[in-house]
Structure 1
């Protein structure tokens, strides 16, 4: 597993949103999708509100690679499925960062959303 350097990790985790572009099978990038991003420990995570049926999530499964842009950091990444053991810390990170959006944050805390938790690793 490749780890984030400190300054990039801090900038990404401080960003309100992240733009994610997944790679198609031919290596070109899809249009960006804007989403919430959280940090748990030294790792960065995203989730699909629609779970594994979400269009951007399905696209990310094509090559498990893409590019993100958040907090002034643009980085090529690998998408890794999070282990269910990571879900609790990711849930806590979403509650802490986005808890002010009471009615909305609950949508990323459902079992459906948890099943789509991806860890973003720099490459």
Structure 2
């Protein structure tokens, strides 16, 4: 695996949304789901507002691979689940800072214990 380029990190990190499509068992991609994405250092993270029970999250568990698209960046990725729980406070802070303008009600949907348990690090191929 290769890392994100500095341009990709900046572009996706500043974008409001990311489209994520996970791979099915047969290798085809599911329909993309639009979600919030945050950057912490050289890494990008997404969370399910429905925790591990969320449909798109469960889809990432089939092959742990898929494709993301955001602000003109298209990339195949691996989904690293169980990202370091020690990062949760930092990731929460980035969500609050980046998306706070949408209001506490919406931000709280991704900074709660169930959502924290669904944190996925996106590793580019």
Calculate the TM-score normalised by the size of structure 2: 0.95
Equivalents in 1 of 2:121, 2:87: separation in Å? Answer: 10
Please say which of residues 19-28 and 81-90 is displaced more in the overlay: 81-90
Partner of 1:88: 89
Name segments (4+ residues, structure 1) moved above 4 Å: none
Partner of 1:39: 39
Are 2:101 and 1:100 aligned?
A: yes
Task: Report the count of equivalent residues.
Answer: 123
Superposition deviation, residue 89 in structure 1: 1.2
Equivalents in 2 of 1:83, 1:63: separation in Å? Answer: 20
Superposition deviation, residue 117 in structure 1: 0.2
Structure 1 unpaired stretches of 5+: none
Structure 2 unpaired stretches of 5+: none
Equivalents in 2 of 1:86, 1:52: separation in Å? Answer: 18
Calculate the TM-score normalised by the size of structure 1: 0.97
Superposition deviation, residue 83 in structure 1: 1.5
Partner of 2:118: 116
